[in-house]
Amino acid sequence: MNIKLNDKNALVGGSTKGLGLAIAKQLAECGANVTLMARNEDELKIRLTELSTADHQKHEYLVVDFNDFEAAKTSISQFFENHNIDILVNNTNGPKPGTVLEKSLSDYQEAFNLLFQIHNHTTELALPNMIKNKWGRIINVSSSSVKEPINNLGLSNTIRTALVSWSKSLSQNIAQHNITVNSILTGTFDTERIHQLNKSQAEKEGISEQEILQKRIDAIPAKRLGKPEEYGYLAAFLASDYAAYLTGTTIPLDGGNMKSIL
């Protein structure tokens, strides 16, 4: 199976590090024109040089601070005034960890803007061109906590579940246009985010970060963290014509860690 995304334009959120960067690199490797989207322009410029290029490819970047919802909406809207997107990867930084009891109403509103509103807004802007061309791919970087809530991630558990439900409904409305919508339920990957969570959990439990990391690894049947490039492979498949009949799904990518069968 040789995935070719030549002449396809991709917009990838949160793509200066971690899973977003891994996805962007793989889409570029498969021939897509990739627009990186994140808040740090210096990092965006560096990451842009790391994308593979062929004669037909043109990569760009878009500066967006997902934590400033109104400013982010404006920046993304301005981008779509002059760009059309075929592949949209909805991905932002996650909210701060903490249990449900530790979070306020304003925390939930901020998380809603970050994990739902931004994706909703961007998708609405991307859809008209996808419908016109009778082709589109929408991929949500979500979490395994949608199926099995994680105690210290109360905000993420709640809002990501709303996004997946919305995505399922959306997939049924646009499947006739050859547009797919799929969510990846992320397990434990070797990224900066997981190390931040380990640090927070270690401070709360009064033990070392290494002990927290080992607990996570021990709980995974594969007995290792996921590699970011493995995430990129799945995203590239979902973006390809090989996945044209796959839509409305939530796909666990977690080394077998989830216990549920549905």
Tens-level pLDDT at each residue, the chain (262 residues): 899 999 999 999 999 999 999 999 999 999 999 999 999 999 999 999 999 888 889 999 999 999 999 999 999 999 999 999 999 999 999 898 899 999 999 999 999 999 999 999 999 999 999 999 999 999 999 999 999 998 889 999 999 999 999 999 999 999 999 999 999 999 999 998 888 888 888 888 899 999 999 989 999 999 999 999 999 999 999 999 999 999 999 999 999 999 988 7
Non-local (6+) Cβ contacts of 74 within 8 A are none
Tokens of 38: 């994140």
Q: What is the dihedral of CA 123, 129, 134, 137, to 10 degrees?
A: -30
Query: So what's the pLDDT on residue 220?
Result: 95
Q: Where are the domains of the chain?
A: 9-188+228-253, 190-225
- The amino acid sitting at 36 is L
Name 189's bridge partners. 226
Query: So what's the pLDDT on residue 260?
Result: 86
> DSSP labels for 142-196?
EEGGGTS--TTBHHHHHHHHHHHHHHHHHHHHHGGGTEEEEEEEE--BSSHHHHH
Name 88's bridge partners. 11, 138
The dotted CATH code for 9-188+228-253 is 3.40.50.720
183 near 163, Cβ under 8 Å?
Answer: yes
